[in-house]
Amino acid sequence: MKPAYLLILFTIKFTVLSIGLSITNCTAQIIEATRIEISQDNNSNSNKCKSLFEVNNTLKKDPLNSNALFLRGKIKIEMGAFKGAQTDLTLALKDDKTKHRLEIFYLRGLSYYLENDFLNAISDFDSVIDLDPQHLEALWKKAQSFYFLGAYDETIIILDDITRINPDNPITWHDLGALYYKTEMLDKAKDCFTKSLILNPQLSISYNHRGIIYENQKQYSMAFDDFTRAIQYDSSYVDAYNNRGLIYMLFEDYSQAEQDFSEAILHSKDTAKEALNNRALARCILGNYEESLDDINDLIDNFPFYAKAYITRGDIKEYMHDDSGACSDWQKAAELGNLIGIQYTQSACH
């Protein structure tokens, strides 16, 4: 076994820093379906059934009553009957005199959106925007539709429009920054996250995401400060604990790193894959081999096809001078398609 491979812990520890930014992981952003109120006072199931009964009676007498079709379309969307809603709303649009034209286009677009039919959704949201160029809900949904189609440039254009219409919304600036990050425009992304924090100095997700950019730009102290602020404003922020732990690893403060990874694991609703993997590394470097192996074995038990975990376990075994065990794990990672596993197997295992 080549001695150089004792350093592999330090070559992979930052490969997990990216958390997959997206406009959907900001809990403050309203990305779910806009709530459709049938009544301002009560929206219970019994009220919906009563409303549905009433509009059905109206439509028996007048099948093309656009107001009744519009109301029934609303009810059907809330009940999850999207195809039926689309039929009703399309019929309602045949009435050129309907006063609900904008709302009908929006609701039909929303029904397509909820079915993941993003192209038809965009078409209807465009119709809304033609009628009202500053309709924020339609602009948001259009942006999100483009996002889910992978059309990030188009999404950025729309979010940029929204910032001009509503420049004081910190979430808009955050989401725009997330899209710039995805398209590798890091300085623009950082500026957007900074703008969102000027508007809301307690927006923890923007601190965390700006910290990732600082780390990418090797401004580690700035990254550390941002991850710390993210934790300050959200003491259960799993990703921020994990990311700050990685900075501690870079600073060679492995005890503090272990503590942060433990906090990430504690606050995670599910098994925190990255944090568990990273804590195993930290414990290994601290010489706590038994605990380190417990962590990584637990991770592999829960995620047997997680190639990175086999790389890590191989690293730990290498630290423990178990060359054959290390090669066995790296080979497993290679079989799972991990390039690092292939490299290590070819270079260090015979």
pTM: 0.76
In whole numbers, what is the pLDDT of the chain averaged over residues? 85
Give the start-end residues of each E strand in 40-101: none
Dmax (CA) for the chain in angstroms is 86
Residue type, 107: L
The tens digit of pLDDT for each residue in 65-114 reads 888 888 888 888 988 999 999 999 999 999 998 999 999 999 999 999 99
Domain residue ranges in the chain: 31-149
Alpha-carbon span 79 to 306, nearest angstrom: 39
C-alpha separations of 170 from 32, 72, 167 in Å: 18, 36, 8
pLDDT computed for residue 70 by the predictor: 87
At 20, list the tokens.
Answer: 């997959």
SS3 329: helix
Digit-coded pLDDT (tens) for 256-302: 999 999 999 999 988 789 999 999 999 999 999 999 999 999 999 99
Rounded CA-CA distance 237/233 in Å is: 9
Cβ atoms within 10 Å of 63's Cβ, excluding its own: 10
Assign 142 to helix, strand or coil: helix
Q: What is d(CA 318, CA 337) in angstroms, rounded to the nearest whole number? A: 21
Residue 44: pLDDT band (50, 70, 90) is low
One-letter amino acid identity for 118? F
pLDDT tens digits for range 290-345? 999 999 999 999 999 999 999 999 999 998 999 999 999 999 999 999 999 999 99
Torsion of Cα atoms, 259 then 260 then 266 then 268, to 10°? -160
Looking at the domain 31-149, which fold is it? 1.25.40
Query: What's the confidence (pLDDT) of residue 14?
Result: 29
